[in-house]
Amino acid sequence: MKNDSGTIFLALLGGAAIGAGLGILYAPDEGKNTRKKIKNSIEKTGHEITERLSHAKEELTKSAKEKKEEFEHKLEETLSHMSYKADDIIAGLERKLEDLRKKNAQLQK
């Protein structure tokens, strides 16, 4: 969804720049002034696009960092849970091993 809004924003920005350029071209003014207005409009649009891309990069970096932290937290929880389960399994196996040793000792008598 964010990618769509960014694309729409860039399309609107581009459309506005083209519209401004056409408006300047058809406005009754000297060629020198018209070229200056077009240049200024292009520079302004370029700065706006650069700012938007910079903002999008920051947002993506922030989102990626949050997702990484969330993943690491869930992984730590899972490993901790698995560790407790492993301890339970080992304790159960040790009890069974002790029972087998006792039975084996009784059979050897």
Domain total of the chain: 1
Query: Cα 60 to chain center, whole Å?
Result: 5
What is d(CA 94, CA 102) in angstroms, rounded to the nearest whole number? 12
CB 41 within 8 A of CB 20: yes
Q: Which residues contact 52 (CB under 8 A, 6 or more apart)?
A: 6, 9, 10, 13
What pLDDT does residue 46 have? Answer: 84
Look up the pTM and report it.
0.47
pLDDT at 1: 45
What does the pLDDT profile of the chain (109 residues) look like in tens digits? 455 777 787 788 788 878 877 777 777 767 777 778 778 888 888 888 889 889 989 999 999 999 999 999 999 998 888 887 888 888 889 999 999 999 888 888 7
Structural domain for 99, as ranges:
2-107
Q: Which pLDDT score is estimated for 34?
A: 73
**How many Å separate Cα 91 from the centre of its chain?**
42
**pLDDT of 2:** 52
What does the pLDDT read at residue 3?
59
